[in-house]
Structure formats: structure tokens, C-alpha cells
Chain A
Amino acid sequence: MITLASLRQLGQEHLGYLTPPTRQREGWQYLRMPELLPTATTTQGREIATSSAPWQSFAIPGAYQGRWFQGRWQPPVGPEPEDGELWFGSLGDRPPGDPLVQRLVGLVSQHPATRDYFGYSNQAALEELAILYVPQNRAIAQPIQILSYAAAQPEGACMVVHPRCLVVLESGSQATLLERWLSEDGGALWHNGVTEIFLGPGARLDHVMVQQQGSSTLHLQTTALIQEGHSQYQGYALALGGHTSRQTLHVQQHGSATETVLSGLIYGDGDQHHELYSCVHLEHPHSTSRQLQKVILDGHAHGVFWGKIQVGQKAQETNAGQLSRTLLRSPKARVDTQPQLEILADNVKCSHGATVSQLDADELFYLLSRGIDPETATRLLSYGFAAEVIRQIPIAAVRQSLEAWLMQHTASTVPSGS
């Protein structure tokens, strides 16, 4: 029987053989990873009451909400879906011998993207496993939100949290999941999260990920996805906060005619460093993969987009498109963007493109010529640049809060003319 304890032990064993990636490792050249990791860590945060976290400001009307608080799972609150067979909670809710429990724990760490130093670090610390399980042919109308909040101690060892979520949508089911990662600005925090997702045949998941961590947070998050035939995944990944962040999105295809749509926005300012690593691995025919990544950088911020699309020999008639567009709002900002296409099948349609630009002088002049002041015009254009991603987000409350966030954060800079 697999238990959390046995998974934890397995994680610890694997971790014993691994070291953090150095810059020599492919895909890790922009982070001084071993040095970035804290030498001393604690799981203890600042002593605050659960109720004093800013849950309210991030509540989504009508959403069913589960919470990671100080790295520990809290039972969900909010209107429970009428469908009693939906399981949103944690593994501990049910007896370990339950057949469904055994099936689900058997899925942990099956995805290759979770089998690295960070995945096993997470597994080695596994105390709880958040579960979203949607039975066959159920469409859950209300959004499901998983909020993560941590407040580290202002001094001393760096706090570490390892939230882990398992999302399983059985065949023909549908859900909308929102993960939001938050923390206090003050003390040092290392977030090392893993979310594993399994989409059964014909299932559909809309998945919004918003990283709005505090300014002293190192945010590492792996989202590992397996898609069965005819399933659809729409992922929206927004990296806005934290000091250094890296999100890995890894999609494995286990059947034909799958659809994968990834939309992303990175917004960096000051000395923030954001990375998005995505890999879509297609091994079956007739599938579609579309990706749009927007990057806005101000100050000294550094953004990295590394997007791989692997089309295996059997993945005939794949239609894959990828586009990354970067807006540099400051001369000191920097972006590294690297699309990678590996195509072994001979009958496929694959495209990729990357643009890097500053604010368009003609667009700016057009707004000025209508009486809009330079600061508002700059803000509007930056916002417009991000809007293509924001507007697709299927939860209105999230869309609105992100619009407001962007309007506020893009206000600072006035460009120095054309």
C-alpha cells in the first residue's frame, strides 16, 4: 500500500542522489541555482492567525476555495458544488486503503518533470497532498481555487513551503482551476510547489496560475500535465511577484487529438528575475498546441522564456504554433527567449516566432495627440500589450483584478521620447 509516508521516504531516497542544477545544466544557465537556495531552512513561519491572511481580497465569488496556509493544507471553504462525487480536499480525508486513494497516490511522481531535484525535494517533505478529483462526465461550473499564502519570519532561517496538488479529471469531465501563490513581502521564503494534472479522455481543464508572491520570495513551481486522447488543456500562467521565479510547465501527451493551449504573462520590474520553461511533448497524431507568451520588463528585470515543442515520429498532422513577444520598458531590462522545435514526424505544421520591442513611438504619439498624458498613454500601451493574455482568462474576477494590478504597476515609467 502506498502512503504519504512511503512517498515521502521514496522522495528522500531519490533526493539523496541528486544535487541542485548548476548553470552548466541545459535550461539552467540564467540562475545561480545552488547559491540561490537557502543554506538553512525552516518550515515555521511568522506566528499569525489563519484568519489574518488576506484571503478575502483574493476570494472569487462563487468559487470553492482550498488553502495552503504556512505550507499546511486547510479544508476548503465556500459553496460546495452540488455534485457530491467531486472530491476537493486532501488525501487524509479518506482511509488509506480506499481504492480511489490508492489509484491517486499511484499517480504521484509519474510525470518525468517531477523527477528532478526540486520535485523530489517537494516529495521528500510531503505531509499532505491536495486533491481535486472530478469523476467521469461531470462539468463543474463554479471555479475551484487553491490559494497559497505564507508569511515568513522577518529574520533567521529561510522559510520553505512545498505545496503539492494532484488534479485528476476523469474522462469527459470539465473544471476550471485557479492556483494563486501569495506571500508576505518581509521574510525570506522559498516556495517549491508541484502540481500534477491528469486529464482523462475528452476531459477539459481551464487552469489559471497567478504568482503574486512577496518581494523576498524564491518561487519554483512545476506543473506537470498528462493528457489522454481528445482532452483539452488551457493554461494561463502569470508571473508577477516574487524576487526570483521559475515556472515549469510540462505537457505529456498520452493519446491522439489533444489540444494544449498555453498563455503566459511575465511582468518584471526592479531586480526581479522570472523564468518560464515549457515543454509540450507530442507522441500521438492529430493534436494541436498553441502558445502565446508575453513578457513585459521594466527596471533591471530579467525575463527568460524557454519553450520546447517536441513532435515525435508518430505525431503526424500535429499543428503547433508558438509566439513570444517581449516589451522592454527600460534600457536596463533584459530578456532571453528561446523557442525550440524538435520535429521527427514528417507531416506536421509547426510555427514559432519571437519579437522584442520597446513601446511603439507612433502608438504613443497617437494617444498623446488625443490629449492623453504621457504617463497614462504609456500605461495604456503596456496594458494593451498584456491584454491579449489577460482577456482570455475565463474567470471575470481574476481578469478584473489583474487588469487593475497591471494598470497600477505599469504607471511608473515615462519613455524618453522616440
Chain B
Amino acid sequence: MIVADSSEVLVIQDLTAAVDGVPILKGVNLAIKAGEIHAIMGPNGSGKSTLSKVLAGHPDYEVTGGTVQYLGQDLFALEPAERARAGVFLAFQYPIEVPGVSNADFLRLSYNARQKHRGLPELDLLDFDDLLQQKLPIVEMNPAFLSRSVNEGFSGGEKKRNEILQMAILEPTLAILDETDSGLDIDALRVVSHGVNQLATPHNCCLLITHYQRLLQYIIPDFIHVMAEGKISLTGDRTLAEELESKGYDWLKDGDG
């Protein structure tokens, strides 16, 4: 939702980044205000996922120039865990399996790290379980998945639900969803999208990264950006998605720059 006079959560200016010395981001500019949902679309290899990893602080991605302000602060001055505690959340395209660590323990550790950072009380096992029981319906998740190892043996859809459950528990200010729709059947897509929609408030914002228009039928973005060759080449409203769906990405190359 576009909220009048809302504050800027994320301001990206001329951001450049490289992986293994190869430049991927070549000057990204983007501003997201509280309450807004932005979608970044674009062909494979355009740098969409790189942007999400850079924002979350993955060590394989090297920032080579530009700035990112998060709530008025230099985002890159924060370590990955500090960014998370400050309210940046990345829903992974391929959620990682962590054998031997129970999902419930993992969720509680994450939650308590965030609570501690906010100066709020940490929850013990019992109280946290109460919180979990409240949040599970958001993603229609079977409680049996809580006692299993994090993502281990989960199906693609279960992994993505688990990502949104984490988002529900951590209540991020900036949620970045990296190709959350990939590998989902229509039911899982509905559940996951519904979860994301329930979590949207005037105080947080969401950056959806997707290759397909399909997700945007369930989560309605306020802005759509098209990324090509490491830059945002076009910005529009939700109707842009339909145009892209019918025309593909190739026509952009001609109109670019």
C-alpha cells in the first residue's frame, strides 16, 4: 500500500557489486517507503538475486560502489546478523537445510536475537511455543515440521512456507523475497502469498524478486521494476507485469538507454 508521508526504509544509490571479480550490479537505484510492496522482475542473470544477497550481506558478494541507506543508516556498516536484528529479512530462493538443528530451536534463537536487540524480553520454550501456535496458521503449516531439523527433507513448498513462518515470527521492517514463487505449485503459491499479504502493514515494506508475473496475481505490488544487465531499466505500476508477460523481456533491450 502507498501511504501518504511515509518514511523511506530503503534507499539504494548507484549500487555496484561483483561476484568473484565479475561485476553483476552496475548502478542500481531504488527507494522503498514504509507500507510499499515493490517487485523486481527481469530475465535470468540480470542481477535480481545478487541484489537480494548483497542487501542481506552474503560474504561471496562484494560491494564495489554506491550506498544503501536502511532507516537512514548505512546498511553496509552492519554485519549480516546485525542487519537481520535491525529488521532486514531475506526469504531464500533455496532455503538451506541445517541437519541436526531443530526448526523450533532455530526459530526461537532467531526470535530471541531480535527481541534482545529491541530491548524486549526473550521467550522461554513454553512461551515461544504459544507464539508459534499463533503464527503457524498464517502459512497453514503442520506443527510436526517444528520438531524436525531445519528444512531437512522438506519439500520445496514446505521450505518456502518455513521461510514465511520465519518472516511472521521475526516481523521484519524490510522483507526481501527472492524468487519465493519458484518451484511452488498453485496451492503452495496461494498459501505463501496469503501469508505474505497478512504480514503487510503500513510500517513495513516488501521487495519481491520474481521472474514470472504469476506471483504478482497474488501479491499486488505498488511498483514494478524491471532489471536488466545489472540496472533497473524501467519502473511502472502493476500493469507493467502484464505487459512483460505478453511481450517478454527482449523488447526492453531496444528501449534501454
Q: A369-B84, A369-B90, A370-B84 are in contact. Are A383 and B100 (CB under 8 A)?
A: yes
B58 within 8 A of A: yes
A342 within 8 A of B: no
B248 within 8 A of A: no
Which residue of chain A has the shortest Cβ distance to B53 in the bound complex?
A365
A84 within 8 A of B: no
Note all chain A residues with C-beta closer than 8 A to B85: 371
Q: How big is chain A's contact interface, by range?
A: 20 to 34
A386 x B110 contact (CB < 8 A): no
Q: A368-B81, A369-B90, A387-B101 are in contact. Are A362 and B170 (CB under 8 A)?
A: no
Q: Choose one: A361, A363, A418; the contact of B98 (CB below 8 Å).
A: A363
A372 x B96 contact (CB < 8 A): no
A30 within 8 A of B: no
A367 x B98 contact (CB < 8 A): yes
Note all chain A residues with C-beta closer than 8 A to B57: 368-369
B106 x A370 contact (CB < 8 A): yes
Min CB–CB distance A364 → chain B (angstroms): 9
Q: Choose one: B81, B96, B113; the contact of A362 (CB below 8 Å).
A: B96
Q: Choose one: A366, A374, A376, A384; the contact of B109 (CB below 8 Å).
A: A376
B92 within 8 A of A: yes
Q: Choose one: B84, B92, B100; the contact of A371 (CB below 8 Å).
A: B84
Q: A371-B170, A373-B81 are in contact. Are A366 and B92 (CB under 8 A)?
A: yes
A197 within 8 A of B: no
Which residue of chain B has the shortest Cβ distance to A376 in the bound complex?
B109
A97 within 8 A of B: no
B166 within 8 A of A: yes
B117 x A384 contact (CB < 8 A): no
Q: A370-B110, A384-B101 are in contact. Are A417 and B59 (CB under 8 A)?
A: yes
A387 to B113, CA, bound (A): 23
Which residue of chain B has the shortest Cβ distance to A373 in the bound complex?
B81
Min CB–CB distance B92 → chain A (angstroms): 7
B84 x A368 contact (CB < 8 A): yes
A93 to B106, CA, bound (A): 52
Which residue of chain A has the shortest Cβ distance to B105 in the bound complex?
A380
B23 within 8 A of A: no
B156 within 8 A of A: no
A384 to B150, CA, bound (A): 10
B residues near A (Cβ < 8 Å) are 56-60, 79-81, 83-85, 89-90, 92, 95-101, 105-106, 109-110, 113-114, 117, 149, 166, 170
A-B pairs with beta carbons under 8 Å apart, 21 shown: A361-B60, A365-B59, A366-B95, A367-B106, A368-B80, A368-B81, A369-B83, A369-B89, A369-B92, A370-B84, A370-B113, A371-B114, A371-B117, A372-B81, A374-B79, A381-B98, A384-B99, A384-B100, A384-B149, A385-B100, A418-B59
Closest CB pairs A-B (n = 3): A384-B100, A387-B100, A371-B84
